Every structure is written in structure tokens, then in C-alpha cells.
């Protein structure tokens, strides 16, 4: 009976569930330290700026390409669905709202989560396996204060900024497609943007990206610190950080969408 | 004064420390010798609170550090300097920033004073003018010496040296031994030196202790070590593959 398959399955699920709860606990403890060391961790302004720079400048071209094509595809798809149903003068508005509410924040977070989450996890993971984290602790420098706070805060600040940038590029990408291949005039497109722009749409996207930044920074640091072993461990940590960032971004997107549009911005 | 009693630690599938007892008196330099993989580095990491023992006690100046929280430990750690076996330099920082990191994080010294102190400590380890280099472009021996400069940058009362002369040429090794002696004589530092370089051990030690199979099996002055009939110590000191310690 010991190897009765369903029993083994239950054991597996139970063990995984325990691991998962333990991990949530450890993340919570790290976040508590982030809050505790927030002010002292930001005393060195240079480290924060360095991280913001690494996140922003390093991701610029990737975000440009992704956003441009996202906007372009949104235009093509919307035009196809509008055909014989909705007048093309609404094209600008539908691109605008889908980009600033959903596509801009989420795609930016997925792209940055892949790039920045991975690089944070790889850097801290390498520091862990080469005893650099131990060396910090031995010098009475708390690793959360020195390493985690600047990274998480930089991600939280940079994500909304990059998202605004991404929104603009995507709307421009839609514009290019609309006037070159769909036959919507430049004036019609921009008028439609103006008529349907709502500040609360932009806010909702930026609030989401603020949380996404926190998720990406936290997951990169957490999985970096959890690294065990050598180069192989660093590789695993990187993968875990990216997967966790992306999954949590999508789950929290759903949760935040409910909170924002059913309660805060409901009307 | 460091007092270690009954220290036990299980790691992986091994009982690495199996009841270590060791006293390090104030101002004394104790050399801990033992084969690779016996747990010498693990022992040092317990003394500075980087690892938590399964059982046992470590007192620093009468204060029990086992069971302390990270914040209390930090107060103790500020009195310590540690040279890691791997040097553990921060590879995103320059050599100068590595040596100065403790000064910049803990003391509000004016910047010229930090630079002066960094240059001075690098000079002590025979590495003047390398402040701007990155650890990645240093040789193993240079990395070790930068690690040493970083360990002594804050004028610690206690210094833990993990294989300070491994990877150095004999002449540099002698200079580092001289530095370890000098730290003790000038600043009356209390030190634990882990090494299996017997030449170096005899030069720096006030007392020597041998770790084997998770226990301290022998302690004595260098003269006592030279004269001992303890078969394990004799075998280790002579560097012989025949004797009570099986090489494989
Ligand atoms: N973090 C760890 N996890 C598991 N095993 C470890 C860990 N650190 C050290 N060990 C094991 O403990 C033993 C002693 O290691 P160490 O103290 O580095 O030896 P040495 O005396 O050469 O310094 C080794 O068998 C090593 O594999
Ligand atoms: Mg060692």
C-alpha cells in the first residue's frame, strides 16, 4: 500500500503545499526587513540611483521594441474586429484604453521581470555562493539594508516611469499602423485619443505597475538570497525569480483590476 | 576572551563539529590546524555568528552569542574582523571600496580620512596603489591580501583568519605572518588563525589546537607541539600519509 499512487500524489501535494507556505513566510520576513531598513537603506543615494539606472537604461530598447509592436498589433486586431461593426474613428480610443490600463503595465512588467528579475537574482545568487553575503553580515552590514532596499525601491520607482514611456510608444505604434494601413486619418486618431482619455485609467495602470515593480524586485532578491550550491544554483535561482515574477504579476493584475475598477475607480 | 563549549553542527550528511571545546584568551593568537574538510571554516563561521550550532555555547567576553538575534550579533560583530578562505571580496566594488566599506557604512569619517586609512591598510599588506582595480583582475594571493586589509580596516579587537597564507609565495607568506604578529603586538588583538601551513603556524601561534573528527584533539604551545608524542599531531606536523589519520 505504501506506493499506492494516489497516496503518493497526496504526499507530494502536501509537501509542496508546506514548502510553499514556508516560502511565503520567508518572503514576508524579508519584506518586514525591507520596511525596517527602508530609511537607513536609502541613506546611500548613490546605490539607489545606480540600481534605477541599471533597470531603466538597460531595459530601454527592449521596452521600445515590445511596446511599438504591441501598439501596432493592437491596431491591426482592433481594426479587424471593428470591421462592419464599429466605426474606425473609435480605433484610437480602444488602443489608448487597452494600452494604458492593461497592455502597457503588464507587458512592461513581464519584460522587466524577465530581464531585471533575472539579473538581480543572478547577481545576489553569485554573491551568496561566493560568500560575499556572509562577508557583509560578518561586517555587521545587514544584506537587506545594503542590497535589497536599493533594488526593491529602484524597481518600485522605475516601473511606473517605464510604463508611461511604454504607453506612449505603444500608442504611437498604433498610430503608425492606423494611418498607414488602415486608412484612419491622423486627426481622427488623435481626436479619439483626446475624447476618451480618462485620468483614472492612467492612474490604475500606474498603480498596478508600482506593485509589479515591488514584485519583481522582491522576487529577484528573494531567490538570489535563497541560492545554494554553485553556478547551477545561480541558474536555478534566476529561473525561479523570473517564473515567480511573471506568475505573481499576472495574479496580482487580476486582484488589482478587481480592487481598482470595482471599488476605488468604480463609477 | 572567547570560550567555546560542546559545539555541535550537523551539515549535509556529516556531523562536522562534534563537541568542540576551545578557549582563546584575550590578546592571544590561537592557530587551529586540521585537514581540509574537517570543519575549520565552519568553526570560524560559528564564532562570528554566520552559522548557528545545533548545540553548545560560544561566549565572547562572557556574553553568550548562541541564540542571539541578528541585531545583537551585529554589535558583537563590530568588534571582529574576518578574512574568508575565499577572500569573499565584493566584485562589484573596487579594491579601495572593498577595504573602505566598513568605514563608510559604520563610521561617519570624512572622505579623505577614509581614503587615508584604506591606503594605509593596503600598504600594510604590501599592495599600495591598487585602490582602483577590480577584484576580478587580481591574482589569488592579491585577493587574499585585499581581504586581509578589509578585515583589519576597522581596527578590530578580534580577528579570524581563514588560511591567510594559502596561495601566497613563501616570502609574501612570511610578510603576512609578520603582519599577524604585528597586529597582536601593536593593537593587542585576539586572533584565531586557521591554517595547514605549519611554517606559518609556528611563527604566529601562542597556542596551537588540532581539530580532527569534529573535536579539538590537542592543544599546546608551539614548543609543546614540537615535543609532543600525540600520534595524530606528529603525523600532521610531519605531513605523513602513514599513521593514525587515514589519508583517504
Ligand atoms: N553550508 C554547508 N552546507 C553543507 N555542508 C557544508 C557547508 N559548509 C561546509 N560544509 C561541509 O562541512 C565540512 C567542513 O567544511 P569546512 O569547514 O569548509 O572545512 P575546512 O576545515 O577545510 O575549512 C565539509 O565536509 C563541507 O562539505
Ligand atoms: Mg576552510
Task: With a cut of 70, say whether residue A2 has pLDDT above it.
Answer: no
Give the total number of structural domains in chain A.
1
Which member of B77, B84, B89 has the closest CB to residue A140? B77
How close A139 gets to chain B, by Cα (Å)?
6
Cell 581581504 sits at which residue?
B147
Q: Does B86 touch chain A (CB under 8 A)?
A: yes
With a 6 A CB cut-off, is B42 part of the ligand 1 pocket? yes
Range(s) of the domain holding residue A188 = 37-264
- Band the pLDDT of B33: cuts 50, 70, 90: very high
Architecture of domain B1-79+156-248: 3-Layer(aba) Sandwich (3.40)
Residue A71, pLDDT score? 95
Q: Does A138 touch chain B (CB under 8 A)?
A: yes
Q: How many CB pairs under 8 A join A and B?
A: 51
CA of B42 to the centre of ligand 1 (A): 6
Contact state of A141 with B70 under an 8 Å Cβ cutoff: no
Ligand 1 closest atom vs CA B36:
22
CB A103 within 8 A of CB A170: yes
Task: With a cut of 80, say whether residue B26 has pLDDT above it.
Answer: yes
How close A48 gets to chain B, by Cα (Å)?
15
Taking CA atoms, what residue in B is nearest to A44? B105
- Average pLDDT for residues A179-202, to the nearest whole number? 90
CA of B150 to the centre of ligand 2 (A): 19
In chain B, % of residues over pLDDT 70: 100
Instruction: Pick the more confident residue, A41 or A238.
Output: A238
For ligand 1, atom 3: residue with the closest CA: B11
* Structural domain includes residue A28: no
Residue B217, pLDDT score? 94
Q: Does A36 touch chain B (CB under 8 A)?
A: no
User: A194 in helix, strand or coil?
Assistant: helix
- Band the pLDDT of B186: cuts 50, 70, 90: confident
Cell 538581480 sits at which residue?
A120
Domain residue ranges in chain B: 1-79+156-248, 91-154
Q: What is the ipTM of this complex?
A: 0.94
Which residue, among A66, A41, A13, has the nearest Cα to A217 in the 3D structure?
A41
- Band the pLDDT of A89: cuts 50, 70, 90: confident
Instruction: Pick the more confident residue, B235 or A7.
Output: B235
Residue A267, pLDDT score? 66
Task: With a cut of 70, say whether residue A3 has pLDDT above it.
Answer: no
- Average pLDDT for residues A115-137, to the nearest whole number? 96
Q: What is the pLDDT of residues B171-183, one digit of tens each?
A: 989 989 998 998 8
What is the rounded distance in angstroms from the CA atom of residue A173 to the CA atom of residue A92?
11
Task: With a cut of 90, say whether residue B32 has pLDDT above it.
Answer: yes
- Band the pLDDT of A82: cuts 50, 70, 90: confident
- Average pLDDT for residues B27-34, to the nearest whole number? 95
CA angle centred on A168, ends A165 and A169, rounded to 5°: 90
Task: With a cut of 60, say whether residue A78 has pLDDT above it.
Answer: yes
What is the rounded distance in angstroms from the CA atom of residue A83 to the CA atom of residue B118?
72
Q: Which residues of B touch A131 (CB under 8 A)?
A: 84, 86, 88
How close B160 gets to chain A, by Cα (Å)?
10
Ranking A138-152, A229-243, B200-214, B231-245 by mean pLDDT, the lowest is: B231-245
Which member of B50, B77, B86 has the closest CB to residue A130? B86
Which member of A127, A138, A146 has the closest CB to residue B82? A138
Task: With a cut of 90, say whether residue B140 has pLDDT above it.
Answer: no
How close B82 gets to chain A, by Cα (Å)?
7
CA of B36 to the centre of ligand 2 (A): 7
The chain-wide mean pLDDT, for chain A, equals: 92
- Average pLDDT for residues A183-212, to the nearest whole number? 92
- Average pLDDT for residues A165-186, to the nearest whole number? 93
Ligand 1 closest atom vs CA B51:
1
Which member of A123, A137, A141 has the closest CB to residue B50? A137
Taking CA atoms, what residue in A is nearest to B73? A140
Task: With a cut of 80, say whether residue B197 has pLDDT above it.
Answer: yes
Q: Does A123 touch chain B (CB under 8 A)?
A: yes
Residue B239, pLDDT score? 87
Question: pTM, whole model, 2 decimals?
Answer: 0.91
As residues whose CB is below 5 A from the ion ligand 2, the structure lists B 41, 85
With a 6 A CB cut-off, is B39 part of the ligand 1 pocket? yes
Mutate to test the interface with A, among B84, B98, B192 (most CBs of A within 10 A): B84
Q: What is the pLDDT of residues A200-230, one digit of tens each?
A: 999 999 999 999 999 999 999 999 999 999 9
Amino acid at each position: 500500500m505504501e506506493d499506492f499512487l494516489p497516496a503518493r500524489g497526496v504526499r507530494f501535494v502536501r509537501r509542496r503545499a508546506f514548502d510553499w507556505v514556508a516560502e511565503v513566510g520567508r518572503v514576508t520576513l524579508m519584506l518586514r526587513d525591507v520596511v525596517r531598513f527602508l530609511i537607513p537603506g536609502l541613506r546611500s543615494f548613490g546605490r539607489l540611483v545606480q540600481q534605477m539606472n541599471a533597470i531603466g537604461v538597460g531595459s530601454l530598447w527592449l521596452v521600445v521594441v515590445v511596446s511599438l509592436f504591441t501598439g501596432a498589433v493592437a491596431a491591426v486586431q482592433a481594426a479587424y474586429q471593428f470591421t462592419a461593426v464599429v466605426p474606425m474613428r473609435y480605433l484610437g480610443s480602444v488602443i489608448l484604453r487597452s494600452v494604458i490600463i492593461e497592455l502597457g503595465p503588464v507587458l512592461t512588467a513581464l519584460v522587466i521581470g524577465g530581464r531585471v528579475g533575472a539579473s538581480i537574482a543572478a547577481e545576489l545568487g553569485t554573491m551568496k555562493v561566493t560568500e560575499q553575503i556572509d562577508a557583509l553580515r560578518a561586517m555587521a552590514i545587514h544584506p537587506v539594508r545594503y542590497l535589497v532596499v536599493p533594488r526593491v525601491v529602484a524597481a518600485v520607482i522605475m516601473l511606473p516611469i517605464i510604463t508611461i514611456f511604454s504607453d506612449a510608444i505603444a500608442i504611437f505604434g498604433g498610430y503608425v499602423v492606423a494611418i498607414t494601413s488602415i486608412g484612419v486619418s491622423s486627426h481622427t486618431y488623435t481626436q479619439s485619443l483626446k475624447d476618451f482619455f480618462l485620468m483614472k485609467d492612467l492612474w490604475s495602470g500606474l498603480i498596478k505597475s508600482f506593485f509589479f515593480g515591488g514584485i519583481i524586485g522582491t522576487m529577484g532578491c528573494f531567490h538570489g538570497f535563497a541560492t545554494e550550491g554553485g553556478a547551477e544554483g545561480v541558474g536555478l535561482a534566476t529561473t525561479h525569480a523570473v517564473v515567480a515574477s511573471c506568475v505573481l504579476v499576472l495574479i496580482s493584475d487580476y486582484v488589482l483590476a478587481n480592487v481598482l475598477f470595482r471599488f476605488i475607480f468604480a463609477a | 576572551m572567547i570560550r567555546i563549549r560542546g559545539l555541535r553542527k550537523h551539515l549535509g550528511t556529516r556531523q562536522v563539529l562534534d563537541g568542540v571545546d576551545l578557549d582563546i584568551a584575550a590578546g592571544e593568537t590561537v592557530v587551529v590546524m586540521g585537514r581540509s574538510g574537517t570543519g575549520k571554516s565552519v568553526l570560524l563561521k560559528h564564532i562570528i555568528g554566520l552559522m548557528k550550532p545545533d548545540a553548545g555555547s560560544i561566549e565572547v567576553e562572557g556574553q553568550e552569542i548562541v541564540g542571539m538575534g541578528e541585531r545583537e550579533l551585529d554589535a558583537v560583530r563590530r568588534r571582529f574582523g574576518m578574512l574568508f578562505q575565499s577572500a569573499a571580496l565584493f566584485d562589484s566594488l573596487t579594491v579601495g571600496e572593498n577595504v573602505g566599506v566598513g568605514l563608510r557604512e559604520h563610521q561617519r569619517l570624512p572622505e579623505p580620512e577614509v581614503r587615508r586609512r584604506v591606503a594605509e591598510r593596503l600598504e600594510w599588506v604590501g599592495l599600495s596603489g591598487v585602490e582602483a582595480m577590480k577584484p576580478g583582475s587580481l591574482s589569488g594571493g592579491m585577493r587574499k591580501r585585499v581581504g586581509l586589509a578589509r578585515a583589519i580596516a576597522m581596527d578590530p579587537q578580534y580577528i579570524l583568519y581563514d588560511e591567510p597564507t594559502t596561495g601566497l609565495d613563501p616570502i609574501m607568506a612570511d610578510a603576512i605572518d609578520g603582519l599577524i604578529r604585528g597586529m597582536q603586538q601593536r593593537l593587542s588583538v585576539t586572533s584565531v588563525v586557521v591554517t595547514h601551513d605549519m611554517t606559518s603556524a609556528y611563527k604566529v601561534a601562542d597556542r596551537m589546537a588540532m581539530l580532527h573528527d569534529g573535536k579539538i584533539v590537542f592543544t599546546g604551545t608551539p614548543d609543546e607541539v614540537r615535543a609532543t608524542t600525540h600520534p595524530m599531531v606528529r603525523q600532521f606536523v610531519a605531513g605523513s600519509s602513514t599513521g593514525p589519520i587515514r589519508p583517504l
